[in-house]
A and B are shown apart, each in its own frame.
Chain A
Amino acid sequence: MIYFDNAATTFPKPLSVERRASEVIRRWGGNPGRSAHSLSMAAEAEVFACRSALAGLFGSAPERVVFTYNTTYALNMAMKSLYKFGRILISDLEHNSVRRPAAALTADLRTFDTHPELPDGDARTSAILASIREQLPASLIVCTAASNVCGVTLPIRAIGELCRKRNIPFIVDGAQAAGVLPLDVEADNIDILCVPGHKGLYGLQGSAAMIFSEHGVSLPRRTFIEGGNGVNSLEVTMPDFLPEHDEGGTLAVPAIAGLRAGIETLNIDAIRIHETSLFRRLRRHLERLGERVTLYVPEWEGSILLFNIAGKSSAEVSGVLNKHGICVRSGFHCAPLAHKRLSTGTDGAVRVSFGRFNTVGEVDRLAEVLGTIR
């Protein structure tokens, strides 16, 4: 099987991830933060080590890392705990994990233009900021760092700077960028960064986090979930400090342990270079197929390549590939806004998303099969 659906979840995982999670299940199966016995303490040590690893990767501190079960949970928690009233502004490339909770919070939901047709640089950043300014005031801005549909990135630092100047809380969806692009909650002026464990960080499904900057911690927020967490048990309200303010119930310790193991294997620069080289190779292959192939945002390079083949639906193409043992994703990728912005049509498109374990040979095999589709 050849796997090119790494934007959905990376596969395979490093062996150390499997080993670490398995070790927790077999040896340290206590409930963290609940007791002082050895197994609970060992589990808590594992959880704290992962908080530290995430904090180190994203410029935060261990106590400002809140574990959740996936990025959608993290985004819902971040948005619904921060939002009070007024307009929410999101980008025109957002996944439903941002769009749907925003729409549930307010009828005054607007999108700003990410200008994916422009090359990355100052002119594009200025155009994006202008689009945001046109739609202010807003009480909350939420956007992705990199599109799950086409890989186009957003100038997070500049948007964050604008938010900070205007006193607008800023939440970033790091679902595709975490582990692939450098992100720093302090330097990038992010209040809350939401990241998955199971994508670019090569951890397990069931692990994700909200990561706060110092400014983000200072923002008044409601609780999103209430329950037991082993702290201040006699009180009826959740603790007023992170991470326990936002963590109720038992954490997914095996997944969290696996996530730390995944983080330990990361070499972001090397991964980016590898994935970009695969991207370029596939793009060259597809360009040789001529006008039958439509490439969306072909000037961008990265981990995701989006295309369609004339006369074939994206589902047909992915179906043919699957028969040849090749996994890609077709359709709208839970991001209809992005597909609309990219004008992919009524059937969505085929997405090839690379991971660090993909090879040149796999790319060539994919191109070979695509070349046979008529």
Chain B
Amino acid sequence: MPNTSTIALASMTYAMKAQELLRAAGIGSQVVRVRPELTPGGCSYGLSVSRSDAQRALAIIRKTGMQHRLI
């Protein structure tokens, strides 16, 4: 089982915005390209975070109202 989780976001812009928010909360992340077959519309970007931070990261992103999905 991988030790990272990927949170898909609407675009690179949102991925970078989310990355800043997570960074401010002390959560490290990396912007990654999400495999097109995993997102309904095709090309998408997301954040890779450690599995231990995933739920906290999701909670922070959820609060902003950004479209997102845990893959």
Does A32 contact B67, Cβ atoms closer than 8 Å?
Answer: no
Answer whether residue A232 sits at the interface, using C-beta atoms and an 8 A cutoff: yes
Number of B interface residues in the complex (CB < 8 A): 20
Within 8 A of B (CB), among A80-125: none
| Contact among A41, A233, A243 for B36, CB-based, below 8 A | A233
| Contact among B13, B20, B33, B40 for A243, CB-based, below 8 A | B13
Answer whether residue A234 sits at the interface, using C-beta atoms and an 8 A cutoff: yes
| Bound Cα distance from A36 to B36, whole angstroms | 13
Answer whether residue A63 sits at the interface, using C-beta atoms and an 8 A cutoff: yes
Does B33 contact A231, Cβ atoms closer than 8 Å?
Answer: no
Does B42 contact A233, Cβ atoms closer than 8 Å?
Answer: yes
Answer whether residue B17 sits at the interface, using C-beta atoms and an 8 A cutoff: yes
| Contact among B12, B31, B41, B67 for A233, CB-based, below 8 A | B41
Residue of A nearest to B20 (CB): A52
Answer whether residue B43 sits at the interface, using C-beta atoms and an 8 A cutoff: yes
Does B44 contact A63, Cβ atoms closer than 8 Å?
Answer: no
Distance in Å: Cβ of A242 to nearest Cβ of chain B: 8
Residue of B nearest to A48 (CB): B16
| Contact among B32, B42, B67 for A234, CB-based, below 8 A | B42
Residue of A nearest to B14 (CB): A63
The binding surface of chain A is classed by DSSP as loop
Interface residues on A, range: 20 to 34
Residue of B nearest to A231 (CB): B11
Does B16 contact A231, Cβ atoms closer than 8 Å?
Answer: no
Within 8 A of A (CB), among B5-24: 10-14, 16-17, 20
Does A63 contact B67, Cβ atoms closer than 8 Å?
Answer: no
Per-residue B-contact encoding for A196-221, CB less than 8 Å = 1, 0 else: 00000000000000000000000000
Does B42 contact A33, Cβ atoms closer than 8 Å?
Answer: no
| Bound Cα distance from A235 to B42, whole angstroms | 7
Residue of B nearest to A244 (CB): B11
A48: B residues at CB distance < 8 A? 12-13, 16-17
| Bound Cα distance from A244 to B10, whole angstroms | 9
A233: B residues at CB distance < 8 A? 36, 41-43
Does A63 contact B31, Cβ atoms closer than 8 Å?
Answer: no
Q: State the A residues within 8 Å of B (CB).
A: 32-33, 35-36, 41, 44-45, 48, 51-52, 61-63, 229-235, 239, 241, 243-244
Sample of 12 A–B contacts (CB below 8 Å): A33-B11, A33-B45, A44-B16, A44-B31, A48-B12, A51-B13, A230-B12, A230-B43, A232-B44, A233-B36, A239-B11, A241-B14
